[in-house]
Every structure is written in structure tokens, then in C-alpha cells.
């Protein structure tokens, strides 16, 4: 109660009666404030949950996967937009074109395609904790496959006397051009494969190489 400077013109019984209602009024006020406080906390929690969902939806996979050509080094990338966390990248379904690989840590796609094809795949980016993001995409590779050429030299090993000679032969597969370029680590070798050993005073190993001209 508020009192002015003059004494109130009330009976003592009235003052006591007024004071007897204070505990009930105060308890009602306290209960009401607690209820308001609880409602405010509930709304705040709801707002946080909505923000978390919105942030999750903004995390998307961004790709730079241009068309490639057979036999030409390929360079592409997979990354995350909307989050600075570290992610692990993988192919969750499908496959990369033959000859390409995906770096799980950096998202780099590299290699040399060996086959003309269009590969459909699903990429997955997973953080250390939390939901993963996925994206379905494709990579197109065009061109003619590069023939795989193999060269076999015979004899595979031999012993030649110091200053002596030995003829080597080369067999090629995967090409119609059967000519090769010969080279020797020591001594000499002709364009027909005739090797002349160097003059040495101790046992010496010499490598003979035949390279396809394609």
C-alpha cells in the first residue's frame, strides 16, 4: 500500500484485512510470471530448431565436372557450398569413367580416361558428424580409345663377353607399326637390335631398351 504523509483514516481491522490478501495476490503474480517465462523458453527453442534445419538445407554439393576426352588428362572437382566443415567425398552409387579417381579428402577428380562413355553416378559428402549431402550427376567422355601397345624384348637376359656382340629382337602388340628405337645403357646397339658390349674388366650390367614408334 502507498501512504501519504498524513495518517490514513482507516480502521486497524481494515488494514489487517487488506494485508491478509497480499500472499494470495503475490502467489498469483508469481505463477503468472513463471508461465510467461516458460512460454518464452519454448518459443526460443523452437526458433533454434528451425535455424538448424535451415542451415542443413543450405549445405549442397557443388561440382565442376566438364566433359573429357579419351587419352587426355582430366581435371574436375567436388566441393561443399554453405558449410566450412571438413567433408569426406565418395561415390555412393554408379561409377566414375574408366581411368578417373576421386580424392576423398579434397574432392579432386583426376586421371586419364581410357574409354568413351557417359557415366551416371551419385556423389556423397559426409562431415565428421551430422547429415551427409548427396548429388546425382554425370561425366561424359568422348573420343577414340588409345591403343595399349606392349613391347617384348628377347632374349630377356644374356651374358656377353667384353667387346662381344648379341642381337636382340622386339615383338610388338597393339599397333601395326612394328619398328622400335633401340638404346643401350653402355656399349652400342644398332637400329636393327645388334648390341656390341663395352670392353670392361669386371662384371657389368647393361640395360637394353626398345621403344615403340607407334
pLDDT at 213: 84
pLDDT at 58: 60
Superfamily per CATH, domain 60-142: Immunoglobulins (2.60.40.10)
**Residue 28: exposed, middle, or buried by beta-carbon count in 10 A (0-12, 13-18, 19+)?**
exposed
Q: DSSP character for 67?
A: -
Q: What is the mean pLDDT of each run of 10 residues along the chain (214 residues)?
A: 45 39 41 41 40 49 95 94 83 96 96 95 91 93 84 94 96 90 96 95 94 86
pLDDT at 186: 95
pLDDT at 175: 86
CB 206 within 8 A of CB 185: yes
Write out the DSSP string of 86-104. -EEEEEEEE-PPTTEEE-T
pLDDT at 28: 39
- Whole-number Å distance between alpha carbons of 76 and 57: 25
- Whole-number Å distance between alpha carbons of 44 and 23: 32
Reduced to 3 states, what is the DSSP secondary structure of residue 143?
coil
Angle 145-148-151 from CA coordinates, rounded to 5°:
160
> CA nearest 181: which of 209, 144, 153?
209
Residue with cell 553416378: 121
Amino acid at each position: 500500500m502507498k501512504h501519504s504523509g498524513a495518517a490514513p483514516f482507516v480502521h486497524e481491522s481494515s488494514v489487517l484485512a487488506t494485508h491478509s490478501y497480499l500472499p494470495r495476490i503475490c502467489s498469483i503474480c508469481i505463477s503468472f510470471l513463471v508461465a510467461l517465462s516458460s512460454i518464452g523458453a519454448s518459443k526460443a527453442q523452437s526458433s533454434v530448431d528451425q535455424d538448424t534445419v535451415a542451415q542443413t538445407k543450405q549445405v549442397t554439393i557443388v561440382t565442376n565436372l566438364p566433359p573429357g576426352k579419351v587419352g587426355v588428362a582430366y581435371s574436375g572437382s567436388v566441393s561443399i557450398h554453405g558449410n566450412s566443415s571438413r567433408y569426406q567425398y565418395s561415390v555412393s552409387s554408379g561409377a566414375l569413367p574408366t581411368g578417373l579417381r576421386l580424392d576423398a579428402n579434397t574432392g579432386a577428380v583426376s586421371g586419364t580416361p581410357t574409354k568413351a562413355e557417359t557415366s551416371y553416378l551419385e556423389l556423397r559428402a559426409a562431415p565428421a558428424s551430422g547429415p551427409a549431402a548427396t548429388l546425382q550427376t554425370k561425366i561424359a567422355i568422348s573420343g577414340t580409345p588409345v591403343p595399349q601397345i606392349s613391347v617384348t624384348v628377347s632374349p630377356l637376359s644374356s651374358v656377353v663377353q667384353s667387346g662381344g656382340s648379341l642381337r636382340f629382337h622386339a615383338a610388338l602388340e597393339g599397333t601395326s607399326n612394328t619398328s622400335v628405337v633401340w638404346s643401350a645403357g653402355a656399349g652400342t646397339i644398332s637400329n636393327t637390335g645388334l648390341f656390341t658390349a663395352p670392353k670392361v674388366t669386371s662384371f657389368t650390367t647393361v640395360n637394353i631398351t626398345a621403344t615403340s614408334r607407334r
